[in-house]
Amino acid sequence: MTGEVKNLLKHLIYSSRPFGFDQNILNGILVNSVDNNKRNQLTGALICRSDLYLQYLEGPIESINETFKKIENDDRHVEIKVLKEGMHADRLFPKWAMRDDPVRSWMWSREEVDTGALDNISASDAFNIFQRHSKELLDLQ
């Protein structure tokens, strides 16, 4: 039992609105994240567009908490909302220190984001987005 609990991974999903989004800023975030996350045994995915960040982070509890504290204080985005936190036995993105993808057509239009689509999203909807995303990546292999 203790062993099982110890091996559980935390995951955290949040959304935010980019502040000053451009390709250079995004590349900077990604390069830094990949380096840090490898060191901290974190994996995950960042879905982004100029009007939206949606990130899934998974890994040891301490690493998630420490990293999210830094993310919350980052002035490259605003309106940070935690959509889900939980424990999970397996990683959805075991191969990606931080996979990045644009918002897909099955997610939301800019109009939907503008009119508050992310205000109404449930924890399970948020998790399902990343489960589907992770499955698509596995199907591509």
Phi (first) and psi of residue 118, to 5 degrees: -80, -15
> Cα(118)–Cα(138) distance, rounded to whole angstroms?
26
Please report the DSSP string for 33-77 in residue order: HHHHHHHTT-EEEEEEETTEEEEEEEE-HHHHHHHHHHHHT-TTE
Q: Which lies closer to ligand FMN via its Cβ, residue 67 or residue 127?
A: 67
For the bound state, the minimum distance from the C-beta of residue 59 to ligand FMN, rounded and expressed in Å, comes to 10
Residues 47-106 contacting ligand FMN, CB under 6 A: 53, 55, 57, 67, 70-71, 74, 76-77, 98
Smallest gap from Cβ 61 to ligand FMN, in A, equals: 15
Nearer to ligand FMN, 56 or 127 (CB): 56
Residues whose CB is less than 8 angstroms from the CB of residue 34 and which lie 6 or more positions away in sequence, other chains included: 97, 98
Contact with ligand FMN (CB under 6 A) among 27, 32, 109, 115: 32
Amino acid identity of 66?
Answer: E
The CB-of-47 to ligand FMN minimum distance in angstroms stands at: 10
Residues of the shown chain interacting with ligand FMN in the complex, contacts defined by CB under 6 A: 29, 32-33, 36-37, 46, 53, 55, 57, 67, 70-71, 74, 76-77, 98
